[in-house]
Amino acid sequence: MRQAGRWDPEFNELRAGKSFYEFSEDVELSAIASLLPRRFGVDAIILFYDITTLAVSMGLPFTLQPGRGPVPDRPVRTLADVERLSDRPDADRFRHVLDLLAHVKVALRGELPVIVFAGAPFTLATYCLGTGKDLAATRGFAAESPAVWNALLDRIGSATVTFLGELIRAGAVAYQIFDSWAGALSLDEYAAWAYAHHRTIFDLVRGVPRILFVKECPYLAEMIRSGADVVSLGVRHELADARRRFPEMVFQGNVSDELMRTGTPEQVAEATRACVKAGGGRQHIVNLSHGMDRDVPVANFEAFVRTAKAGLPAG
């Protein structure tokens, strides 16, 4: 759940003022960035790229703007805009991600598994519109141009299947779908714009563990039914209760990312111990409720990993 790496002093030194896409498309540098968390003792490596990497490979360039995040060069507005995007992008369009995976796997020599990811169609579509976190603006566009909106969701879904399939064939051992903004949708919106596309992707991209992340999603039952092998929990759900309700599901989470930013190492360790206990020591990936904020102290992350690896206390 690392958030690019901006919290890590070594990452910031490595990036040294380069633009995000310039940096992420440099395979040597992005491989080093991907491997930086290894020094903390993590149990897996997540490749360094962005959810908009797929949109770029579909034919929609982005820039990363301070205070705004990823901004499309040509926001999608019409069916013609959607049709210009490739629904099955050729692997050469994201060759740097495949090369990155190869570099990282060679460097790891089997020491750790490598996880890849993609933005879910709803969240990536909001970036393609240029609305991002502005749910009111996204709803407005969907109401005014439903045919364009649904075509965009479908096209991103198809491209996601192609993208993840190539990465799995290249040796990724698991993938995570990020639907960062779908947790704020109504249930009907979630069913049509998020859940339906999660199910399709998980149904078509098989063979490795499939992880679903929806930031603070209230619709736990829908997440369980999505076809995901692992469901990520935010702090709005109690892990122990979710384990009781769905004993066969693997859960991920749910140490507070806010506590990671504002707490002390001792508080982070206490919260991590509580999370490990709630998880029961099986079918549980100890993780954060969301990504790492740029202001997280390194000592807090060290405390998190150290405590998680210590596992359940004896007795």
pLDDT in tens, 245-293: 999 999 998 999 999 999 999 999 999 999 999 999 999 999 999 989 9
- Looking at the domain assignment, is residue 1 inside a domain? no
Task: With cut-offs at 50, 70 and 90, classify the pLDDT of residue 52.
Answer: very high
pLDDT in tens, 114-167: 999 999 999 999 999 999 999 999 999 999 999 999 999 999 999 999 999 999
pLDDT in tens, 285-303: 999 999 899 999 999 999 9
Q: Which of 200, 224, 248 is the last residue of a domain?
A: 224
Tell me the average pLDDT of the chain: 95
Q: What is the CATH number of the domain that holds 92?
A: 3.20.20.210
Q: Which of 201, 224, 247 is the last residue of a domain?
A: 224
pTM: 0.95
Structural domain boundaries enclosing 119: 9-224
**Domain check: are 57 and 187 in the same one?**
yes
Query: Cα dihedral sign for 167, 182, 298, 308?
Result: negative
Task: With cut-offs at 50, 70 and 90, classify the pLDDT of residue 313.
Answer: confident
**Domain check: are 28 and 154 in the same one?**
yes
Query: Cα dihedral sign for 298, 260, 190, 80?
Result: negative
| Predicted local confidence at residue 66, as pLDDT | 78
| Predicted local confidence at residue 1, as pLDDT | 60
**Domain check: are 302 and 176 in the same one?**
no
Q: How many domains does the chain have?
A: 2
pLDDT of residue 2 exceeding 70: no
Structure tokens at 115: 């996880």
- Looking at the domain assignment, is residue 3 inside a domain? no
